[in-house]
Amino acid sequence: MLQILNITFPFFALVLCGYLAARRGMLPLPAIPGLNGFVLFFALPCMLYRFGASTPIAQLLDPSVALTYLLCAVVMVGFVLAVTLRGRIGWNDAAFGALVGAFPNTGFMGVPLLVALLGPTAAGPAIVTILVDMVFTTSLCIALSRLGPHAHPAAGSPGAALDVSAATALKNALKGVAANPMPWSILAGALVSALQLDLPKPVVATVGLLADAASPVALFTIGAVLARSQMQAQSGEAHAVPWQHYVPVALIKLFLHPLLVLLVGASAIALGVPLSRFALTVLVLLAALPSASNVSLLAERFGADNGRIARIILVSTAAAFFTFSGAVALMKGA
């Protein structure tokens, strides 16, 4: 267990550093979107490109990994919706609660952490899950969020309670995926891997510098974003949210999601699906990660209760230091 903590502790410590920097004013809150922009548009795409380019194309096109993970994501979305779609939680808030309950923080945290724990071969299955979550899970939840009678359009028209069809929402979600640099960076890396291309050394060195910055800056940014959401709640900029509306979803994310992936993956292997034990371990540990921090941005854009979403992310991230380390110990001992 000590060896596991030696690897996981620095990752969560960087999140804590970002949290404390924002809380104590060392990092101005208006600077946080700039950090997010650097990670999303520069550092993280370079990191994903590098992993994609160095991963055999067969691992990036593994249908058993994609379908196993997709099935679990759909079940998670349906379960969280069934649990939360009641009382004052409507379709919009329930749908984004389902997304935050099914979407782990794979890009900002999972890929570098799993590579550090399991080696470079863990990048292949992790990249597949990123594509599933960005293309399918996110699009599904955005479409579901539009089913309510008072679903708001994208942020920018506050107070306009216009009904948007699920088909239109799905189309807009896919447009958002197309504008996201991460899928394109993965595709570019896969293309380089398939064609065995060699880029000029200065380009490779530049990409390497940005890729090396992705993990520390992303983790630091996660902490800063979590601190900002908490500070906004305390200052009255965000309304109070009962713990019953966010703690259960965080616990579902940390405990039910990895358990579901383990059971579905083990059953698939028993039925003869060509899913390797190593890939299943990667999928389970990815599912054990805390909720993705970028869901908060999507919730804000589509008029959902961002205070609730931010609290789910905060609780799952804080608790994951213990639960994720425990999941690693269990999976490595299995």
Hey, which residues does 104 pair with through a beta bridge? Answer: 291
Three-class SS of residue 104?
A: strand
The pLDDT assigned to 236 comes to 63
Determine the pLDDT at residue 162.
41
- What domain count does the chain have? 1
The angle formed by the CA atoms of residues 215, 217 and 218, to the nearest 5 degrees, is: 65
Supply the pTM of this predicted model: 0.84
Tell me what pLDDT residue 203 has. Answer: 92
Question: Binning pLDDT at 50, 70 and 90, where does residue 332 land?
Answer: confident
Q: Looking at 212-226, 238-252, 273-287, which range is the least confident one?
A: 238-252
Mean residue pLDDT of the chain comes to 86
33-90 per-position pLDDT tens digit: 898 889 888 998 999 899 888 888 778 789 999 999 999 999 999 999 999 876 668 8
CATH code: domain of residue 256 = 1.20.1530.20
pLDDT (tens digit, 9 = 90+) per residue, 146-180? 776 555 444 443 434 444 565 676 676 667 667 77
Short-list 256, 254, 259, CA closest to 290: 254
Distance between CA atoms of 109 and 250, rounded to whole angstroms? 17
What is residue 334's predicted lDDT score, i.e. its pLDDT? 60
Residue 118 to residue 260: CA distance in whole angstroms: 21
Q: Which segment of 25-34, 106-115, 170-179, 213-222 scores lowest on mean pLDDT?
A: 170-179
- The per-residue pLDDT for 103 is 95
Domain of residue 204, residue span: 2-333
DSSP strands (E only) in the chain: none
Quote the DSSP letter at residue 290: P
Q: How far apart are CA 230 and CA 228, in angstroms?
A: 5
